[in-house]
Structure formats: structure tokens, C-alpha cells
């Protein structure tokens, strides 16, 4: 496994390039999004939903080559329950089915776009792996790490960064936050108090992301300040 040293600026540009291909209007204003339409329009690969693990430790997978993965019949393990093999064609994206259940839209959107950017950025990074290698994305990878040491750390960080930049375009997020926080003072970053938290919650709904993702994005854009992990 290898990785490329993309700068933060390059990762933003990769996200903007895909946005221009999918829907340029999203670079100007927030809009509802169907992330599966991104797969269909920009990648043209198959996608599916399965219970990938009975503890949701893996939330997504990308088949850089055709192969098989084990999946489970239910989201939680019961005694005697066994997994089964399913075939994934080359390029397929698999999303854990629990993300489609309950109030997980933001988490689902982020996971899907994480897998999309594996396809965009990382096809050559796994060329040394076995021919049937299928890359799995864990909850830990989606949550992010404070330190980046291995190639896998960098690869997951890059997919997270691009997913965030795609779902929350930097200029649109800045403008929306400034508009909503204009009565709180003109000096940014603003402390993450209860009034700012209310804005974050509203913006998360508008951009179809989780509250944690929006909180981190605003922090990374220097609009708010707080102690935070890389991604949530």
C-alpha cells in the first residue's frame, strides 16, 4: 500500500472538481443531495447495501478489483447466525445497511462520499495488494485520527477531507455561517457556545451532514474554535 501526499488545498480542489462535474450550483448555495446519484453520474459503478459486520465496525467497502466479501443476515449477532459471501464487481461500493435505518442520513452521506473519493484518489494506492483486494472502511477510519503515520492513515484522512469538502463546500459554508452568526460578533473564529451550537445544528440539516461533521468543518475553516478530533 502506498499513498500520495496531497495538500489540504489539493484535496479541496479535488472535491470542487467532482462538484463541478455533478452539480456546479452546489458551489454557490446549499442544496439537498442524493449521494447515490453522485456514484451513478460521476463513477458509473455498482453500489449496494448489506449488513457488513454484526457490530457495525465496518461501514463501507470499495472493490478496487472484483471479489467476495462476507456479509451478515441481520445487524446484530444472534447465536448460530452465520455470514454469507457476496460478489462485488470491480469498482463496486458497499454501504452498511444500518446507515439507511433510523436517523443516520448525515452519517450515510459522509460514508458514501468517503468511498467515492477512494475511487477518485486511491485506485493506484492498492496496486500492490492481492488481485481480489477489497478495501473496508471502519468506524475508526471515519472518525479520524489525531496523528497520521501509516499510508492507510493518510488514505483514510484524504477520503474524509474530500468527503467533507464535497458535502460542505468551503465558500458556501463560510457564507452561510457568517450570515447566521452576524449578530454574534464579527471576529472569527467564534467560541463554540450554545448559540453557535444552534447554528451548527441548523446548518447540518441544511447540508445533509451530521452535527459532528459540520462542527469539524467549521473548525477547520477557522469559523469556530474548539478542541476536536480530525473527523466525526
Domain spans in the chain, listed from the N-terminal domain onward? 8-167, 170-225
pLDDT (tens digit, 9 = 90+) per residue, 39-86? 999 999 999 999 999 999 999 999 998 999 999 999 999 999 999 999
Q: Which residue has the cell 452561510?
A: 176
Is 138's pLDDT higher than 60?
Answer: yes
**Bond before 189 cis per omega within 30 degrees:** yes
Residue 102 or residue 231, greater confidence: 102
Residue 170's contacts (CB-CB under 8 Å, 6 or more residues apart) are 12, 221
Report the C-alpha gap between 181 and 171 in whole angstroms. Answer: 15
Q: What is the mean pLDDT of residues 180-193?
A: 87
Q: Which of 37-41, 186-190, 210-214, 220-224 is predicted least confidently?
A: 186-190
Q: What's the average model confidence in pLDDT over 164-174?
A: 98
**Confidence at residue 108, expressed as pLDDT on a 0 to 100 scale:** 97
Per-residue pLDDT, 228: 44
Average of pLDDT values for 196-224?
95
For residue 132, the model assigns a pLDDT of: 78
Amino acid at each position: 500500500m502506498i499513498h500520495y501526499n496531497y495538500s489540504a488545498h489539493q484535496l479541496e480542489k479535488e472535491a470542487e472538481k467532482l462538484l463541478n462535474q455533478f452539480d456546479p450550483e452546489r458551489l454557490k448555495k446549499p442544496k439537498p443531495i442524493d449521494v447515490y446519484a453522485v456514484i451513478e453520474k460521476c463513477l458509473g459503478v455498482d453500489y449496494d447495501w448489506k449488513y457488513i459486520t454484526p457490530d457495525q465496525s465496518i461501514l463501507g467497502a470499495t472493490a478496487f478489483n472484483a471479489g467476495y466479501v462476507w456479509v451478515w443476515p441481520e445487524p446484530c449477532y444472534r447465536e448460530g447466525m452465520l455470514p454469507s459471501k457476496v460478489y462485488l464487481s470491480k469498482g463496486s461500493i458497499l454501504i452498511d445497511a444500518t446507515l439507511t435505518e433510523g436517523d443516520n442520513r448525515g452519517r450515510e452521506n459522509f460514508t458514501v462520499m468517503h468511498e467515492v473519493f477512494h475511487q477518485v484518489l486511491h485506485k493506484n494506492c492498492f496496486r500492490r495488494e492481492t488481485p481480489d483486494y477489497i478495501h473496508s472502511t471502519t468506524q475508526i477510519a471515519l472518525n479520524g485520527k489525531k496523528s497520521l503515520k501509516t499510508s492507510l492513515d493518510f488514505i483514510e484522512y484524504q477520503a474524509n477531507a474530500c468527503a467533507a469538502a464535497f458535502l460542505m463546500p468551503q465558500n458556501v459554508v463560510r457564507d452561510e455561517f457568517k450570515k447566521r452568526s452576524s449578530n454574534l460578533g464579527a471576529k472569527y473564529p467564534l467560541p463554540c457556545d450554545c448559540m453557535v451550537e444552534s447554528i451548527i445544528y441548523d446548518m447540518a440539516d441544511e447540508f445533509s451532514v451530521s452535527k459532528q461533521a459540520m462542527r469539524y468543518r467549521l473548525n477547520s475553516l477557522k469559523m469556530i474554535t474548539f478542541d476536536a478530533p480530525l473527523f466525526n
